[in-house]
């Protein structure tokens, strides 16, 4: 019997040793244990532990099972019960804009015209004569009160010009669809009163210089008219872009973002992104939409085709951004019926629909996705018509085109079902509902608001894939705030009770998916990110509390504990940015 045991041990021991050595021969670089982990994987919804090797997920399971994957060099991160999800994906924002907003005057918290004037006056104290003073973030509909003099719903430049006689001032609206200039800036741009014959050669198609009853420019430039002054503003360059990128990376990581859909980049921006890839300085993964306004850029990329997974999946360029109309805040969104608070005005078609049609067909022919900005119901209808015709003309290429409508903010009831039917992705920003809904009803009226504004559940019920974001720097790049708006439909002050049009709330599961797996789908990346599954990229977000179960009233108290990108801790609460 002893001889038999010895023989058996002799046979079994090498096998046991071999199996054990297999488990230990390739230990994980990182183990994340003791977590409350929402995987967004329908086959394995919850987990306690994750293993990472070479930037990819290699293990999903329990903390006890994770021990088998630990080696002497394995970094172990104990979550101590905290909640982790796949890395959050910002589906529509402006990456460089986040950085430049920090570099210039940030007007997003101003509550009156006088506050803006005071900030500019302070800036003139350190500015050289003739130096441009730039800023962004004001929104007249969010002020506590309105100035005495208003023209077409906007303030006039008089007070601003008084405090800045020697410096041109250019302050962009929060939406980015209007801007406010002082007298010096308009002088440089040659903007004057209407000539004696009542003609103004500076008026441009798709925009408007707001003037008073005497023809004097008020300082407000709407939509495409912004270019009249904007072309005189000092040009950005690679150096300023690089600084803006670093600031934007930091802001994203602090907010738990691991991936970012950049909504419109020109040649200079793309060059900056490529430079960071070559220098291995990327800290967040970028999915870039080429600006359709840069036709030479489009032609260059048509010739070489999409750039997918550049720099170890830190940069992908395979989509095109079109600009169909303006924003509700500046009354530039293109509507089927006139604005309730500006009779006779329907907004602006900021890009000819013929050009939208041209690019949509070219994109299909060259393998690019199209993402068109459309806020008003007229624009949404026009773009859906164009997409449908392009799909019919290119049936093979349209099989998985995943064309998007950015914002899809106000849609006619008859057009809502077309999103699901056509497979068009609505890229919404739930935080816009929270921020804009209190005054948006003045623009559209009760009936239009209830029928087709911010209708997330109606879109989901058509079978459409709804993806989520913030449109930063229009809003802060806070996924937590947008998640809260998604599930509560309230302002960030918690109003009204029950939320606006509560039937359109997302469930927490829908909201999380809109920021993870569905967001990845919106960029053709659901096979490599968006859920916690073996083989996918090791990008994770860790929260201070369970966003899936905590009381709604406490959601905004959630903090980001860790942001993990490519299997490395990039941000840690209390320590800040730790990625080198």
- pLDDT tens, position by position, 291-314: 999 999 999 999 999 999 999 999
Element (H, E) at 192: none
Contact 370, 403 (CB under 8 A): yes
Contact 86, 39 (CB under 8 A): yes
- Give me the mean pLDDT over the 63-67 stretch: 95
- Residue 537 phi, psi (nearest 5): -65, 140
pLDDT at 195 over 90: no
Q: How confident is the model at residue 176 (pLDDT cuts 50, 70, 90)?
A: confident
What is the C-alpha separation between 320 and 322, in angstroms, rounded?
7
- Give me the mean pLDDT over the 284-290 stretch: 98
DSSP state letter for 36 = E
pLDDT at 339 over 90: yes
pLDDT score, position 206: 86
Q: How confident is the model at residue 4 (pLDDT cuts 50, 70, 90)?
A: very low
Q: How confident is the model at residue 26 (pLDDT cuts 50, 70, 90)?
A: confident
2-81, CATH topology level: Urease, subunit C; domain 1 (2.30.40)
Q: Across the chain, what does the average pLDDT equal?
A: 93
Residue ranges, comma separated, of all CATH 3.10.310.70 domains in the chain are 105-230
Q: How confident is the model at residue 23 (pLDDT cuts 50, 70, 90)?
A: very low
pLDDT at 200 over 90: no
pLDDT score, position 142: 87
Distances from the Cα of 426 to the Cαs of 211, 266, 362, 463, 522, in angstroms? 36, 23, 21, 11, 9
- Give me the mean pLDDT over the 206-211 stretch: 90
Distances from the Cα of 144 to the Cαs of 65, 110, 114, 121, 138, in angstroms? 57, 9, 11, 21, 12
DSSP state letter for 557 = G
Contact 186, 218 (CB under 8 A): no
What is the C-alpha separation between 170 and 184, in angstroms, rounded?
10
- Give me the mean pLDDT over the 400-421 stretch: 98
- Give me the mean pLDDT over the 475-494 stretch: 97
pLDDT score, position 25: 52
Element (H, E) at 165: none
Q: In this structure, how many other beta carbons lie within 10 angstroms of the beta carbon of residue 368?
A: 24
What is the C-alpha separation between 363 and 354, in angstroms, rounded?
14
For the purposes of burial, counting CB atoms within 10 Å of the CB of 292, is it exposed (0-12), middle (13-18) or buried (19 or more)? buried
Q: Of 470, 461, 456, 452, nearest to 506 (Cα)? A: 456
Q: Which of 17-26, 222-231, 508-517 has the lowest mean pLDDT?
A: 17-26
Contact 330, 348 (CB under 8 A): no
Sign of the Cα pseudo-torsion (126, 130, 136, 142, in order): positive
Give the 3-state secondary structure of residue 570. strand
Q: What is the CATH number of domain 105-230?
A: 3.10.310.70
- The pairing of strands 217-223 and 257-265 is unpaired
Element (H, E) at 256: none
pLDDT score, position 64: 95
pLDDT at 315 over 50: yes
Q: Which of 328-332, 555-559, 566-570 has the lowest mean pLDDT?
A: 328-332
Residue ranges, comma separated, of all CATH 2.30.40.10 domains in the chain are 2-81
pLDDT score, position 205: 81
Q: How confident is the model at residue 194 (pLDDT cuts 50, 70, 90)?
A: low
pLDDT at 13 over 50: no
DSSP state letter for 492 = T
pLDDT score, position 181: 96
């Amino acid at each position: 019997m002893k001889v038999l045991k010895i023989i058996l041990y002799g046979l079994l021991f090498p096998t046991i040793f071999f199996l054990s050595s297999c488990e230990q021969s390739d230990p994980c670089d990182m183990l994340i244990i003791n977590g409350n982990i929402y995987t967004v994987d329908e086959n394995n919804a919850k987990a306690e532990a994750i293993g990472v090797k070479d930037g990819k997920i290699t293990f999903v399971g329990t903390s006890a099972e994770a021990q088998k994957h630990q080696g002497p060099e394995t970094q172990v991160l104990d979550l101590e019960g905290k909640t982790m999800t796949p890395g959050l994906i910002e589906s529509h924002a402006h990456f460089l804009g986040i950085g430049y907003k920090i570099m210039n005057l940030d007007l997003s918290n101003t509550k009156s015209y006088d506050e803006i004037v005071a900030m500019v006056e302070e800036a003139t104290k350190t500015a050289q004569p003739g130096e441009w003073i730039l800023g962004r973030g004001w929104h007249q509909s969010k002020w506590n009160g309105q100035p005495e003099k208003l023209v077409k719903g906007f303030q006039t430049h008089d007070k601003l010009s008084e405090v800045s006689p020697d410096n041109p001032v250019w302050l962009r609206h929060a939406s980015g669809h209007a801007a406010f200039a002082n007298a010096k800036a308009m002088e440089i741009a040659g903007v004057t009163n209407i000539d004696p014959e009542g003609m103004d050669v500076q008026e441009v198609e798709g925009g408007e210089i707001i003037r008073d009853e005497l023809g004097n420019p008020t300082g407000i430039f709407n939509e495409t008219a912004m270019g009249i002054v904007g072309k005189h503003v000092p040009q950005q360059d690679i150096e300023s872009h690089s600084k803006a990128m670093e600031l934007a990376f930091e802001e994203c990581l602090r907010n738990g973002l691991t991936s970012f859909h950049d909504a419109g980049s020109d040649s200079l921006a793309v060059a900056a992104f490529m430079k960071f890839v070559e220098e291995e300085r990327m800290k967040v993964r970028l999915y870039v939409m080429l600006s359709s306004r840069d036709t030479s850029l489009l032609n260059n990329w048509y010739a070489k085709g999409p750039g997918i997974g550049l720099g170890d999946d830190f940069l992908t360029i395979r989509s095109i951004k079109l600009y169909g109309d303006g924003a509700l805040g500046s009354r530039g969104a293109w509507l089927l019926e006139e604005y309730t608070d500006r009779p006779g005005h329907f907004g602006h078609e900021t890009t000819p629909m013929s050009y939208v049609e041209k690019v949509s067909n070219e994109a299909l022919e060259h393998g690019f996705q199209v993402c068109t900005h459309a806020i008003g119901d007229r624009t949404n209808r026009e773009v859906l018509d164009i997409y449908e015709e392009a799909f019919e003309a290119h049936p093979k290429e349209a099989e998985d085109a995943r064309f998007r409508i950015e914002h899809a903010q106000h849609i006619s009831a008859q057009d809502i079902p077309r999103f699901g039917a056509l497979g068009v992705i609505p890229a919404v920003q739930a935080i816009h509902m929270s921020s804009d809904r209190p005054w948006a009803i003045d623009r559209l009226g009760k009936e239009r608001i209830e029928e087709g504004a911010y209708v997330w559940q109606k879109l989901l019920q058509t079978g459409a894939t709804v993806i989520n974001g913030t449109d930063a720097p229009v809003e802060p790049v806070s996924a937590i705030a947008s998640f809260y708006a998604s599930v509560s439909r309230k302002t960030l002050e918690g109003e009204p009770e029950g939320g606006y049009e509560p039937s359109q709330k997302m469930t927490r599961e829908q909201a999380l998916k809109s920021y993870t797996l569905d967001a990845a789908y919106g960029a053709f990346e659901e096979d490599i990110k968006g859920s916690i599954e073996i083989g996918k990229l090791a990008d994770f977000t860790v929260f201070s509390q369970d966003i899936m179960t905590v009381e709604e009233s406490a959601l905004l108290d959630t903090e980001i504990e860790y942001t993990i990108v490519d299997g490395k801790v990039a941000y840690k609460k209390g320590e800040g940015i730790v990625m080198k």
